[in-house]
Structure 1
Amino acid sequence: MSAGDPAAGDGREGGDRGGDRGADRGADRGGLRAALGGLTTRGRSFLAAGVAAAVCAYVLGQSDLLRVGLLLSMLPLISVALLYRTRYRVAGSRRLAPVRVPAGSEARVHLRMDNVSRLPTGLLMLQDHVPYVLGPRPRFVLDRMEPGGRREVSYRVRSDLRGSYPLGPLQLRLTDPFGMCELTRSFSAFDTLTVIPRTESLPPVRLTGDASGYGEGRRRSLALAGDDDVIPRAYRYGDDLRRVHWRSTARYGELMVRREEQPQRARCTVLLDTRAIAYHGVGPDSAFEWAVSGAASSLIHILERGFAVRLLTDTGDCVPGAGGDGFAATPQDSADSAGLMMDTLAVVDHSEGDGLARAHDLLRGGDEGLLIAFFGDLDEKQAELVARMRRRSGAAVAFVMDSEAWASGGASAGPVEERLRLLREAGWTALAVPPGASLSALWRLADTARGEPSGDGPGGYGGWS
């Protein structure tokens, strides 16, 4: 929950020192002018009618009409003075549930107002600033709040477009009982709603590579998790006394503890091509949005399988980037890494680059395990560069867009098939993505294309190799 700044009815700070009195008088005059500027149409009409009646009474010599004019003129002025001199203070806060929401889903925004003054409030009108893509601007009318009272309201927001959207600032409109004057006070705090890409549940397939602790070797490492290493080490403060190795302690004459072997984690890199020249069309149903959603679905699916995952783009940007190679340092970082990668995909946009050389250079450092890539249009030069990426990873699966087919709704053209053939000859499992394709179907097709069974039973994972 994020708290906004307290909003005062007058918004002024008192000062007792002589040097501050001139500034206070200037602030009072400025605040009074702002209060007069808050006259509503009703208040301005009453003031104009009162002035007109007073002028007519003076011209016609009608004292009764003069009293009516004075009454009409004084009523809005008295309302301005009363509203301006109001001393109650109101604190506001906002809470989002949830903070991250998939595109097309709803989130609820909870607003809370607290009267922190010793006086009851009058009628309050509450308004929150919301980007137009999230829906209409919410407005609420709050009745009188007793001293120390609280009011809570909520509204829903929804967007079909991924992105990061600010909510706020919260505005509070104060009115007098006669509706003659309105004053607006704004809170300074705001919150951010992150609309992440749509994700698709993917079927279980065999997902590991062929080196660095993958496949059968990885299963052996996982089976050994928690087993003792044959070489003990010296005791350190904070070590569990239950791990004391008494035979080694007697041999070396100092307290020794057994070491735990840390299992190797299978690694996966998800590569997203964001080049503007590689995609055509815009909107939620465009090829680029399909690629972003596909990358998000792959990340979530592989993280749930216990992989160490990183997101890589054609610009060379790597997320989470916690370690020197860009992967999360420990399994405990997986949740934070997932949030960081989804936040990145929520705001990712087209890049101005024309090639994939930066991503190729980042993948140059040897075997990185499984590589899953989402490409836009590939010319011959970029297809050859992508083909060389395969030699620097374990298994490699590519989903290649044909933007012209997406724009026209037709089948893949000849050049796309030539690019796929080149990638397959280099060892990639390369699939063309037709317009509106289901990633789960392509995911299973990628496994079938290898001529291997789709698992060792429910949730089984052997090796995409």
Structure 2
Amino acid sequence: MTPNGRKAIVVIFIVLAAGLISGFPLLSQLFYVLAGTLAVSFVWSRANTRGLKFTRNTLNHRSQVGDVAEEEFFVENTSFLPKIWLAVRDHSTLAGHNASRALLLRGKAKTSWRVKTLCRLRGKFWLGPATVSSGDPFGLFVATRPIADRRPLIVYPATVDLPDFDIPVGDLQGGPRMTHRAHFFTPSVQGIREYVPGDAFNRIHWLSTARNRRLMVKEFQMDPSSDVWVFLDMEREPQAGLGQESTEEYGVTIAASISRHFLSANRSVGLVAYGAHHAVIHSDRGLRQLTKILEELAVMKADGRVSLAEVLFAEGSRFGRNTTLVVVTPSLDESWPRALRDIMLRGVRVVAVALEANTFAPGESSVLLLSSLAEADIPTYWVKRGDALDRALSGQRNGVRRQWHG
């Protein structure tokens, strides 16, 4: 019942009392008219939400930041009576998803609409539930009933192409490294050579092309046995920034992009991320592995209490000489480079992606961390707020390749 409905009931009782006290016939007649109007309004509002067939068609249950989630809605009036003052309200948790509509349906009529929503945030969201509401011509009653259940939508983190992201290749056990030409992309760039017919255009190395004034392409080295493990620092303490411009979101995007980069190259990739729960996805290959990693990263939050150094000490013993670790962190703690150095002594190759937290929010300088990483001889990519990740994670820009020689 609306506030107007409650006022109407008060008026009806006043009229009834006045009629009984005064015995004036007109007041009695007015009471019956008002009471009848109230009853008709009550029945009208409830009958108007009946006889409706509602269908919700979610076109995709998985999406990605930057992609569009789509839904179709169909409403049919199965009765001969028209339906007016209908309001379909959607209670989805997906930001910006506005599927609510005001409807007027003739008898036996149908209507439909489609909603497209740009996914701006990663996470698990609910599409629905939905309710239908209707009132009466006098605004005395509002009847509401559910017409659709909710459905889950997983929004994966954004990924970017990393054509120039290089890592040190893990030492392979059981045989020499393969050095013949790879006919597909691998993360290990062997060198640059002149273009020959049949080479894919996306293998062209434009800097060398401009320098030599002829088309030059990247030569890739096959390294199918080396595992890549991505360590994403999800401890709460070192994080900085807010929303999409935070070290948490940059870190998740980088971890997702690196995972996709190596899985696309037929490498075996694993993930370690200690948030509120400890996520460890054992290394594997293929699209299914990428899906597992993206689904984990979609819901991962930087609410952990375990430092990166502790994570490395806890998990580092599982890795051997055929492994490369990629550590993504905003931490300025100098203990994690020492932990990585200990892992390197066992023949494990490592590379760090350091998020400069003081570019996301005022804070300490990363000079001491830079010194620790250089002392430990750890190849490092530095990422600042606002950086284009494909350029920031370029070995040529960061000078990472020079640190691997020798």
**Does the alignment pair 1:76 with 2:76?**
no
Counterparts of 1:367 and 1:205 in 2: how far apart (Å)? 21
CA 1:175/1:204 → structure 2, altered by over 3 Å: closer, same or farther? same
Is 1:135 aligned to residue 96 of structure 2? yes
Q: Distance in 1 between matches of 2:27 and 2:175?
A: 96
Shift of 1:290: 1.6
Q: CA deviation at 1:95?
A: 3.7
Q: Which amino acid aligns with 2:327?
A: A
Q: Which runs of 5+ in 1 are unaligned?
A: 1-38, 224-262, 453-462
Q: Offset at 1:151?
A: 3.1
Change (3 A) 1:416 1:381: closer
- Report the counterpart of residue 445 of structure 1 in structure 2: 395
> Which SS does the other structure have where 2:331 is aligned?
coil
Superimposed CA distance per residue, residues 427-452 of structure 1 (whole angstroms, 9 cap, x where no aligned partner)? x3223333433321232236853249
How do 1:4-403 residues align onto structure 2 when only pairs under 5 Å count? 39-81=1-43, 83-84=45-46, 88-103=50-65, 106-114=68-76, 120=81, 122-123=83-84, 124-131=86-93, 134-135=95-96, 138-144=99-105, 146-147=107-108, 150-158=110-118, 160-176=120-136, 179-187=139-147, 189-204=149-164, 209-211=170-172, 216-217=177-178, 266-314=226-274, 317-319=278-280, 321=281, 326-328=282-284, 331=285, 334-350=286-302, 351-365=304-318, 366-391=320-345, 395-403=349-357
Provide, for residues 83-127 of structure 1, a one-character-per-residue CA deviation record: whole Å limited to 9, x for no partner: 557794544343445444444655333333355x56656233110
- CA shift at 1:46, angstroms? 4.2
Report the CA distance between 1:421 and its aligned residue: 0.9
How far the C-alpha of 1:179 sits from its partner, in A, is 4.2
Which amino acid in the other structure matches residue 339 of structure 1? T
8 Å contact from structure 2 (residues 165, 394) kept in 1: yes
Aligned to 2:198: none
Structure 2 Cα separation of the partners of residues 205 and 86 of structure 1: 61
Q: Higher helix proportion, which one?
A: 1
2:48–2:83: 8 Å Cα contact kept in structure 1? no
In the TM superposition, residue 294 of structure 1 has moved relative to its aligned partner by: 1.1
Once superposed, which parts of structure 1, at least 4 consecutive aligned residues long, lie more than 6 Å away? 220-223
- 1:200 counterpart SS class: coil
Which of 423, 429, 432 pairs up with 2:382? 432
> Does the 8 A contact of 2:172 with 2:225 survive in 1?
no
Rate the CA distance shift 1:381–1:152 in 2: closer, same or farther, 3 A: same
How far apart are the structure 1 equivalents of 2:69 and 2:153?
9
What CA distance in whole angstroms lies between the structure 1 residues aligned with 2:254 and 2:56? Answer: 33
Which letter does structure 1 place at the counterpart of 2:33?
L
Code of the residue aligned with 1:438 in structure 2: it is A
Alignment-derived partner of residue 204 in structure 2: none
- Does residue 1:422 correspond to 2:378, yes or no? no
Deviation at 1:58, TM superposition (A): 4.2
Higher gyration radius (CA) = 1
1:407 equivalent in structure 2: 361
Q: State the Cα deviation string for residues 29-49 of structure 1 (Å, max 9, x = none).
A: xxxxxxxxxx33444444444
C-alpha distance in structure 1 between counterparts of 2:19 and 2:262, whole Å: 85
Name the aligned partner's letter for residue 387 of structure 2: A
Offset at residue 403 of structure 1 (A): 2.3
Name whichever structure is richer in strand by fraction.
2
The one-letter code matched in structure 1 to 2:256 is A
**Partners of 2:155 and 2:374 in 1: how far apart?**
37
The aligned residue for residue 192 of structure 2 is none
* Offset of residue 129 of structure 1: 1.0
Aligned length: 362
What is the percentage of aligned positions where both structures have the same residue? 20
Question: In the alignment, is the contact (CA less than 8 A) between 1:423 and 1:429 conserved in 2?
Answer: no
Secondary structure of the equivalent of 1:108? strand
Question: C-alpha root-mean-square deviation of aligned residues, in Å?
Answer: 3.8
